[in-house]
Structure 1
Amino acid sequence: MTRWRIAAVATALAGYALLSHALMAWWPEQPWSIAVLFGPLLGGLLVAGLARRHRPSLVGAAGLGGVLWLVQQHDGGSRVEMLYVLQHAAMHAVMAYGFGITLREGSTPLITQMAVRLQRSLPDAQRVYTRRLTAIWCGYFIGMIGVSLLIYRLTPWSWWSFYCNVLTPLAAIGLFVGEYLLRYRLHPEFERVTLASAWQAWRSVDAAR
């Protein structure tokens, strides 16, 4: 991916994050806000269901669409806010599960799978490191749910919106980039890979699952 494409994608994502924060903070109950904020999740479920003939995804999309319609029609208010919180928590719970299940005895940790796709063979030190890193990401996703619930309970709604739409993606990017920069200080013997190749490895592992 060329630099201008990376810049365009980053700009688009930043714009969507700020738009989502504005809609969620000031107009959370409006139908068009709900459509914009839940659209990516609904679209993802539909695409996954149709492309892979995955019935649970289609059922989930239909169920979520029905719940959104009912809540919006019958006194949204705090119920709509709770749906946003649940959406944020559910997405992080799915990610935590996706990383955590690969830590079971006899399974290959998710980040180890990515590393093998990049390097084919890994020394024992890298296998230990990638297993620990998989556990760190799993803990990160669980921690984000906990922080989300605390902010929702203890602060104004606009603060939670900022956390969800702006701080959440920045935290994920920070962990991804920070680990990349720290890795070679801790383990200079590891074979070097680029951020772009790591992202491609993630996509290939995700597509194969």
Structure 2
Amino acid sequence: MRTALLTLLTLAYPPLVYFCLDQVEPRWLALLLAGLALARALATRERLWLAAAAGTLLLAAASALGNALLPLKLYPVLVNAALLVLFGLSLYYPPSVIERLARRQTPELPPAGVRYTRRVTQVWCGFFVLNGGIALATAVWASDAAWALYNGLIAYVLMAVLFGAEWLWRQRVKAAHG
């Protein structure tokens, strides 16, 4: 339940920031970000997510101290960077993230499945690089509305498209390999 609430708040973060901009100064919105960071830190014992929570607290502090919006807009960049590190490290220290997920349904994953899941993990790494780069560009150079649109909607649509395309491709691969 706590993880679902954290995920929902993280997903809703860009639109919340955008819709509150006219009513609330960035220093007060930083409290929302700090709350997310503290909730994430309390919900995990994993070093990566603790580091991401610490980075989030730094963004919130920078926003609060300078009453600046930019640190708040950098949160999606931080999320993409954390996911890139998580997925990327799993390529160097197997099993990959996607392999771990696949083994929940197929504990005896064949070697071809391990190779496939490794490739999918690499694709997600590429996605996080691209998505994080666009999130950074929208934070620095785009309007607040463009930032919220990309990070609060378009990025999620792109993730859904990648999930769907991979699922369709996986069905073809499974059919081809029996």
Go from structure 1 to structure 2 and tell me whether the alpha carbon gap of 1:176 and 1:131 turns closer, same or farther (over 3 Å shift): same
Partner SS, residue 147 of structure 1: helix
CA distance in 1 between counterparts of 2:60 and 2:175 reads 50
- Sort the Cα spacing of 1:96 and 1:157 in 2 relative to 1 into closer, same or farther, 3 A: same
Letter in 1 for 2:135: S
Structure 1 runs not aligned, ≥5 long: 1-8, 192-209
- Name the residue aligned to 1:118: 105
Residue 29 of structure 1 corresponds to which residue in structure 2? Answer: 25
Shift of 1:38: 4.4
Aligned pair 1:92/2:88, yes or no?
no
Aligned equivalent of 2:35? 39
Q: 1:69 to 1:127 in 2, by over 3 A?
A: closer
> Which residue of structure 2 aligns with residue 156 of structure 1?
143
Q: CA RMSD in A?
A: 3.5
| TM-score scaled by length of structure 2 | 0.74
Cα deviation, residue 66, structure 1: 6.8
Equivalent residues of 1:103, 1:109 under 8 A apart: yes
> Per-residue deviation at 1:135?
0.3
Give unpaired runs (5+ residues) of structure 2.
none
The Cα offsets for residues 151-204 of structure 1, whole Å up to 9 and x where unpaired, read as 33442222112212222223222222331123213442468xxxxxxxxxxxxx
Q: Which structure would you say has the larger Rg? A: 1
> Are 1:171 and 2:158 matched, yes or no?
yes
Taking structure 1 as reference, are residues 188 and 28 closer, same or farther at Cα in structure 2, changes over 3 Å only? farther
- The number of equivalent residue pairs is 170
Cα separation, partners in 2 of 1:121 and 1:185, compared to 1, 3 Å: same
**After the TM superposition, which parts of structure 1 deviate over 4 Å for at least 4 consecutive aligned residues?**
63-67
Q: In the TM superposition, what are the counterparts of 1:69-80 in structure 2 within 5 Å?
A: 69=61, 71-74=63-66, 76-77=67-68, 80=69
Q: TM-score, normalised by structure 1?
A: 0.64
